[in-house]
Amino acid sequence: MAPRPTLNITPQLHDYVLAHSNQPDDVQRSLIEETARATGNAATMQVSVDQGVFLTLLARVMSARYAVEVGTFTGYSSLAIARGLVDGGRMLCCDVSEEWTAIARKHWELAGVSDRIELRIAPARQTLASLPRAPIIDLAFIDADKESYIDYWEELVPRMRRGGVVLADNTLWSGRVVPGADPDGNPMTEHIAAFNAHVAADTRVDVVLLTVADGLTMAVKK
């Protein structure tokens, strides 16, 4: 039997974690505040501050040169990744909302990373399918419609270089992915659970599901 976790992440402990990690700068705080004002309840789709720090550091330690994001929203995660790219690095962002990504564009400019980012407003599956099949992607981040996660995965994995990393957000789904934890049978829960099973069985990658925020799957291309 695997050892049980030793920590219960209480709100107080989470606050402690944030206090002892890199803090948002003025641009990131502006983005958080504008997202809350402009998107209302949808603001919960924005990645957490600790996730943003993790994305920047991961891109930096990987010396990532080319990154792809599926689901940009107002741009916090893409800003974080773009900051971690090597000099001359590039990032492709896939989204369908001109309104919400306008907030992203504004803050990419303020952060000085807009020249690194290409935003395509179109269905992400269409955008991903149009990319070269060559394995050139260093880092990919999936945070979009949950019913399409497996489709995005299957477009991205063949295009990842060896040692490239695919991240997928919300893969613990507030704990509802545990069998029996969602008695109402929410379809989104079923989609996430199916994705998790699909990834765990994929022999092309090594994978860990991290207990960061709402669950962050991290897979490394073999």
pTM, two decimal places: 0.94
Summarize pLDDT for 176-214 with one digit per residue, the tens: 888 888 877 788 899 999 999 999 999 999 999 998 889
C-alpha to C-alpha distance for 107 and 126, rounded to whole angstroms: 26
C-alpha to C-alpha distance for 107 and 93, rounded to whole angstroms: 14
pLDDT of residue 4: 66
C-alpha to C-alpha distance for 27 and 157, rounded to whole angstroms: 32
User: And the tokens for 27?
Assistant: 């641009």
C-alpha to C-alpha distance for 187 and 44, rounded to whole angstroms: 19
For domain 47-221, give its CATH number from 3.90.1170.50, 3.90.1300.10, 2.10.70.10, 3.40.50.150: 3.40.50.150
pLDDT of residue 180: 82
Domains in the chain: boundaries: 47-221
Nearest Cα neighbor of 196 from 184, 207, 185 is: 207
pLDDT of residue 131: 97
pLDDT of residue 36: 96
Regions of the chain with pLDDT less than 50: none
